[in-house]
Structure 1
Amino acid sequence: MFQKLFSVSRFLLGATLLVCAASSQGACLDNVVLVHGNADSPSRWNNTVSTLKSRGYLDSQLFLPNWGSKTNAGANDHNSVNTGVVKSALQAAVASSCTGMIDVIGHSMGVTLAMKAINELAYAGRVNSFIGVAGAQHGLNSCGVYPFNVASPTCGANGLSIDSPLIQSVRGKRYGAKMYSIKSWIDEIVCIGSCYVYGSHTSNVDSQNASYDYALGHFGLATSTTSKQSDLIMN
């Protein structure tokens, strides 16, 4: 009898240890890469991080690359340095992913920067959900049309002028198994002049599965849609 009780106790102890270990490691969820926008910082994602952690994610499953100048927005473009920071985050996220897959959420210029990084790494097959928040895959009217663009790196050949080589390089490609956009028609950055580029809202992602519209400003789209962002990567 004593031996039997001892065996049961050992079994229960082992089961408890397994549960505790699983709890400390978190659920097996896709790692998430969150790419901030021009002259912004990873703190833009604080609300998203809080929401994801409330749904079971650990800090170790969230990757927040910190790229670009914070004081000179016009000097930032999709150069190899900025793209390299994002590529490193994508590679680290894939390398430690328990599912073998990742999810990517970009805001503003972080959307096209993430697209370029995914293209260069040939990582589209590694991304489950790609979410573009207030992005400009079609370019910005405020930058003009390349090569008659506003004379700044952000609006140049490697920037967000309409039909720039950068914009052409990120159009019509896959960035994940599922692709979504979150956008606004009152976006004070993206919609200067008009939200439309060649008949489409520039924040739409080509071949997207769905797009979600909110009556929010450019930065509110990142900070006030966290439940939708989380829903899309967990569905």
Structure 2
Amino acid sequence: MTDTPQNKPAPFHIVFLLFDGITQLDFTGPAQFLARMPGAVVHTAAKALQPIQTDSGFAMLPNTSLADCPQANLLCVPGGFGTRDVMQDAETLQFLRDQADKAQYITSVCTGSLALGAAGLLDGKRATSHWAYTSLLEKLGATYEPARVVKDGNVITAGGVTSGIDFALTIIAEISGQQFAEAVQLGLEYDPHPPFNSGNPSVADPKLVQLLNDRNYGDVLKELQKVIDAS
């Protein structure tokens, strides 16, 4: 980023799309990190200025409507079970297209990549998503790449939920340098040492993977498939 004549960093506008059914950590995780970049201005955009219900039992209040949202330098679409409605909402999809047209970075976390795909923003791109839904990326014009963060040109997609923090650090390093990104990581003490080795289907007990698919993800996958097929 360049500095202004007053030697202050130029504003870097970060726009997060908010919607009912959002997985709040998809948004709050990367937002906590990205907000520490010099010049960062975070905008939380929704269709209306009213509380957005998260999947964690509490609501968040956006600070701008889609209509009044400034142009993003970085556009980010979080995921969540509400992604299905986003993928069918013409106004929101057009907002994503309009923002992406001039954005420096087009990004997503978790199933937010499916919304990017529904808006036609993943055509010919390598991308990722939450592990339970990666099979849908090909139907949206993308090529699935198994990684926590996938960068293809100015399109950067993160895997499920906590991958958003890795994505944020990747962006910070590219814009502000690795040393600054490392300082942010240290300041926020991002030093994960999970108590269990089950954070990805490649290492988790296959029975656990099947259980989650049966209880949580299988029906949603079918619903999302119907949305894509109908589009």
Question: How does the TM-score come out when normalised to structure 1?
Answer: 0.44
